[in-house]
Structure 1
Amino acid sequence: MNMLQLKQQIIDYSKEIGIDKIGFASASPFIELKDRLYQQQELNYQSGFEEPDIKKRTTPELLVPKARSIIAIALAYPSKMKDAPRSTKSERRGIFCRASWGRDYHDVLREKLKLLEEFVQGMVPDVMTKSMVDTGELSDRAVAERAGIGWSAKNCSIITPEFGSYVYLGEIVTNLPLEPDSPIEDRCGTCNKCVEACPTDALVTGGQLNSNRCIAFLTQTKGMLAEEFRDKLGNRLYGCDTCQTVCPENKGKDLHLHPEMEPDPEVAKPLLKPLLTISNRDFKETYGHVSGSWRGKKPIQRNAIIALAHFKDETAVPDLLNLLKDDPRPVIRGTAAWALAKIAPARIEEKLQEATVKETDEEVLLELEKALARLEQ
């Protein structure tokens, strides 16, 4: 079969099924990435969500025997919300990052990749393929960079000339010898806005991220959030867009190409107080279709408590007192104690003292002690 012809047929079909950009890369090992990943590991900059086997992350042939090529795809998502509800003094709202607007992108991209795989298999019946999105072994960003989808930017995102960094990435590893595309030249230049704007200094330097300090990672953790990060969280419930919104390459980029990626404003920017007592069933029904729900409701609820403290929302005090008194989860009780001291320091000491008498969890007791100590200052 003529591989040049097949490549063009794949490109044409990708447009038919709504893939916004496609590129082709060699499946040779990612040597430079391998070195960087070992360095990240040594510095303890990894989040723990990644594939732990660095060889698998950098050697496509371990995933598909005799791998020759990787087909990379990108789908653009919106950066602006239509009819976004406003946060008011009595009805404060949180925010999900743009990558968690609309239907879970993992599902959307997997469907596109499956169609693309089936098309290739129809053309070459004995072809070998393996597709992945985000949670697969390979680095989506490294593949996209090699395939010419975009350049790897200082904010650790892929920036495309057409869509900025507001793109979801996925890839298919195959044993077909498809002609690779050329990488795009890095256009970040001397711009350092993303590094300077990072709320927690997680961008150590351009292109190097300490994931353990990144708000996008921190919002997904399930334990007590370290105190140094709480005031940095603002009203973020899941993810962080700061390093993207300050990027000059993203100015004016707002693509509404896929109806399934359009956000429901009440889901993407929800009221905070109802989140505090939402049931598992209601959480799943309301938020289960978005990528930000994958860790369950507890991290979202913890972040909602922190957001209410950020707003110093006194109308939330009764709800927070109920959590401190009755919630079975130490993380929620401890975070509520911290938030109450932030919101109503002049009138909350007695309630915190009462909670200290009844509390048995050491981590919550520590939060109560620290909250009371701050009130005495």
Structure 2
Amino acid sequence: MNVVELQQEVRAYALSIGIDKIGFTTSAPFRELKNRLKRQQDLGYQSGFEEKDLNKRTEPVLLLDQAESIISIAIAYPSRMKDSPKGKRGERRGIFCRASWGMDYHTVLREKLGILEEFIQELVPNAKMKSMVDTGELSDRAVAERAGIGWSAKNCSIITPEFGSYVYLGEMITNIPFAPDEPMEDECGECTLCLDACPTGALIVGGQLDAQRCIAFLTQTKTAIPEEFRTKIGNRVYGCDTCQTVCPKNKGIQNLHQNVFHPEPELAKPLLQPILSLSNRQFKEKFGHISGSWRGKNPIQRNAIIALAHFKEESAVPELIEMLKLDPRPVMRGTIAWALGEIGLDIGIEAIKEALLTELDPEVRKELEKVVEFKIEII
């Protein structure tokens, strides 16, 4: 079997196992990407989750000896939820972003790439392959753009004509010299809806994101969220979809064909107050199979507190006061202090004054003092 026939076989097989799009590109260095990443580093716009070695991020040959090609794959995920539960006073709900609905996509795409590797290995016994999804060294979006999966949009997503930007991406480096596909032309045009709608102004210009301001990043951090962003987060407990939902290219896109990513409504839009009392084990049992659980329960609980403040949910105040007294985590106590101030009930303010009598953590004290606007000496 020659390489042309092999490439046709690989395309067909990929689609048969539930991969929605597949593209091929060379293993040549991503030189322009390297320049962009260097600028991001210099400006302090990176999230910190990325591979720090820019050479590894942009030179596939460093990741696989004798690399010749990269296979890029895309699998669509839903943009609509059937039977979406509604929150109400006393039963407020948060929301996980669409990319965290259903089964963890890392697991699903790695499985698909593994099956594809086995298929190729049977046809080409001496083939070398290295696959990655999201947490690998390469930029999934840069590979997908060059392999013709879609174009790199102003909202920093890959937009496909068929599935919009609601696609998960993965890739496989190989020593097989596949013919490269043609990249797509950018179809964003003059549209700036995503830049205009970004709640925190994280999209600096088209294609440039300050991750430190991005709600999707902020909801995954483990430290206190800067005060300027708290009111922007709303009821998001993980991730943010604003720059996707406003995009005209996503209008009418639903992507309901991948059953494994259909959301469980009670998990995708969970009740907020029960989250506050979950143990680590309970959190893993409830949320452990979705991608939004990867940072553990602490960020989700912190975000739930912020969401309750967003709703000014008075029924949560007694539990928040109890947590302020007993929770050993300074980030949580500080966030609760702010939340009680936002909700504004007298019993919450009195609890803050009482907490100031014993609180030793300087950052938590700052949060407490901001609410009551005066200092109380520690007894």
- TM-score, normalising length from structure 2? 0.98
- The secondary structure found in structure 1 opposite 2:357 is helix
Show the counterpart of 1:288.
288
**1:9-30 CA distance string (max 9 Å, x none):** 0011001111000000111000
Show the counterpart of 1:76.
76
Distance, in Å, in 2 between the alignment partners of 1:334 and 1:346 is 18
Show the counterpart of 1:18.
18
- The secondary structure found in structure 1 opposite 2:73 is strand
Write the letter of the residue equivalent to 1:325.
K
- The secondary structure found in structure 2 opposite 1:131 is strand
- Pairwise CA distance, 1:54: 0.4
Distance, in Å, in 2 between the alignment partners of 1:205 and 1:350 is 45
Show the counterpart of 2:216.
216
Distance, in Å, in 1 between the alignment partners of 2:289 and 2:126 is 35
Distance, in Å, in 1 between the alignment partners of 2:373 and 2:192 is 39
Distance, in Å, in 2 between the alignment partners of 1:20 and 1:219 is 29
Of residues 362-371 and 244-253 in structure 1, the stretch that sits farther from structure 2 once superposed is: 362-371
Show the counterpart of 2:86.
86
- The secondary structure found in structure 2 opposite 1:358 is coil
Show the counterpart of 1:62.
62
Instruction: Identify unmatched segments of 5+ residues in structure 2.
Output: 375-379
- The secondary structure found in structure 1 opposite 2:149 is coil
Aligned 1:1-377 pairs, distance under 5 A: 1-373=1-373
Write the letter of the residue equivalent to 1:167.
V
**1:7-50 CA distance string (max 9 Å, x none):** 00001100111100000011100010010000000001000000
Distance, in Å, in 1 between the alignment partners of 2:103 and 2:365 is 40
Write the letter of the residue equivalent to 1:227.
E
Distance, in Å, in 1 between the alignment partners of 2:349 and 2:198 is 35
Distance, in Å, in 1 between the alignment partners of 2:80 and 2:349 is 42
- The secondary structure found in structure 1 opposite 2:298 is helix
Show the counterpart of 2:377.
none
Q: Cα RMSD (Å) of the superposition?
A: 1.1
Same amino acid, percent of matched pairs: 66
Distance, in Å, in 2 between the alignment partners of 1:348 and 1:95 is 26
Of residues 153-162 and 81-90 in structure 1, the stretch that sits farther from structure 2 once superposed is: 81-90
Distance, in Å, in 2 between the alignment partners of 1:369 and 1:41 is 35
Write the letter of the residue equivalent to 2:192.
N
Distance, in Å, in 1 between the alignment partners of 2:136 and 2:242 is 26
- The secondary structure found in structure 2 opposite 1:72 is strand
**1:323-361 CA distance string (max 9 Å, x none):** 101111111111111100110254433211110001111
TM superposition outliers: structure 1 runs of 4+ over 6 Å? none
Distance, in Å, in 2 between the alignment partners of 1:17 and 1:152 is 26
**1:291-347 CA distance string (max 9 Å, x none):** 000000000000000000000000100010011011111111111111001102544
Write the letter of the residue equivalent to 2:98.
R
- The secondary structure found in structure 2 opposite 1:23 is strand
Write the letter of the residue equivalent to 1:319.
E
Distance, in Å, in 1 between the alignment partners of 2:349 and 2:95 is 30
Write the letter of the residue equivalent to 2:157.
S
Distance, in Å, in 2 between the alignment partners of 1:226 and 1:10 is 48
Distance, in Å, in 1 between the alignment partners of 2:87 and 2:94 is 8
- The secondary structure found in structure 2 opposite 1:348 is helix
CA contact (8 A) 2:102 2:290 kept: yes
Distance, in Å, in 1 between the alignment partners of 2:347 and 2:281 is 35
- The secondary structure found in structure 2 opposite 1:10 is helix
Write the letter of the residue equivalent to 1:269.
K
Distance, in Å, in 1 between the alignment partners of 2:347 and 2:266 is 33
Write the letter of the residue equivalent to 2:90.
S
- The secondary structure found in structure 1 opposite 2:185 is coil
- The secondary structure found in structure 2 opposite 1:354 is helix
- Pairwise CA distance, 1:90: 1.3
